[in-house]
Each structure stands twice: as C-alpha cells, then as structure tokens.
C-alpha cells in the first residue's frame, strides 16, 4: 500500500459531499469541514469511516498547502502521519479528538499547527538537536508536535 491512498480517500470524501461545500483543499475549506461535522455528528461518538475520510482530507490539505508528505503506518492506517518541514503531525488523531470533544477541538487549530511547521520557530527548535517537542496551547487544547531533524545526503553520520 502506498501513501497515495490518502489522496484517493480525500478525493472520494470530496466527491461524497455537496458541491455547495466547495471542498478545494484550502485552509478555508477546513472550517467548512468543521461545520459539516457539527451538523452530522454529536460529540462523543466516533465513526471510524468518518475518521479515515476526514483525516485523509485534513492531512492532504496540509500536504498540499505546506508542502508536506504522508508517512504511512501500514499496521494502523488511522495512525498515519504527515511530515511538514521536519514536523510529524497526526491528522487522524485530531479528527478522532474533534469527533469525541466536538468544537472544543477544531480541525482548523490543527491546521494552524501544520502551518507553523514552516516557520523559523521550528528551525530554531531543531538547531543542534535531533528532535524536539513543540506544544502550542489553544485554549484548553494543547497541540503537540514531534519535530525531527532530517539528515540530508551530504551530512555525515558522526
């Protein structure tokens, strides 16, 4: 199985929604998905199919907007992640939280964290370190990302 499966799942999700929603893999469309979830779900109820569909859309949006790439977890597809500028983020975990806690855990806040992965703040965290953890509070909801320094081919393994 290839990580392109998430692009396909996200495309199917878009096809199953109303054209009026205008899900175009933009940052603004994530707010639309949040509103859709509020309309069709109630907090505390987890639907694994919805987690997979919405998680693929959330992750694919972050990949397209912030030049990310999927990291497939072949044993637990719903725990696959994306890598944005050395930061690993888990879109399916966020969707699970959104379904369980409702609007207290908006998808858009997670997308903001993915956007932050491209900032100088992340690079400062990684300077001279192999990995670090960044916690950015959003109300009662801390967003945690693991940051790993990616070695380039021209770096030695000292």
Strand-pair partners of 133: 146
What pLDDT was estimated at residue 138? 47
What pLDDT was estimated at residue 105? 86
Q: Which residue has the higher pLDDT, 29 or 114?
A: 29
What pLDDT was estimated at residue 87? 78
Quote the pTM value.
0.79
What pLDDT was estimated at residue 137? 45
What pLDDT was estimated at residue 144? 57
In this prediction, residues 130-142 reach a mean pLDDT of: 51
The secondary structure of residue 158, as a DSSP letter, is -
Percent of the chain scoring above 90 in pLDDT: 56
Domain residue ranges of the chain, discontinuous segments joined by + = 4-148
Q: Which residue has the higher pLDDT, 54 or 88?
A: 54
DSSP string across 110-141: HHHHHHHTTSHHHHHHHTT-SEEEEEEEETTE
Whether 85 has a pLDDT exceeding 70, the answer reads: yes
Provide the CA 51 distance to its chain's centre, in angstroms.
12
In this prediction, residues 24-30 reach a mean pLDDT of: 96
* Among 82, 145, 151, 81, CA closest to 116: 145
């Amino acid at each position: 199985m290839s990580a392109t499966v998430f692009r396909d799942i996200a495309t199917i999700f878009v096809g199953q929604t109303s054209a009026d929603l205008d899900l175009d893999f933009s940052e603004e469309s994530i707010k639309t998905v949040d509103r859709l979830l509020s309309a069709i779900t109630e907090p505390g109820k987890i639907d694994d199919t919805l987690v997979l569909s919405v998680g693929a859309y959330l992750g694919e949006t972050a990949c397209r907007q912030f030049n990310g790439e999927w990291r497939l977890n072949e044993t637990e597809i719903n725990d696959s992640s994306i890598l944005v500028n050395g930061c690993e983020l888990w879109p399916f975990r966020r969707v699970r939280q959104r379904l369980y806690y409702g609007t207290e855990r908006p998808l858009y806040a997670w997308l903001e964290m993915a956007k932050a992965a491209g900032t100088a703040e992340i690079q400062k965290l990684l300077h001279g370190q192999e990995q670090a953890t960044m916690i950015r509070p959003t109300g009662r909801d801390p967003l945690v990302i693991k940051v790993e320094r990616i070695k380039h081919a021209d770096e030695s393994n000292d």
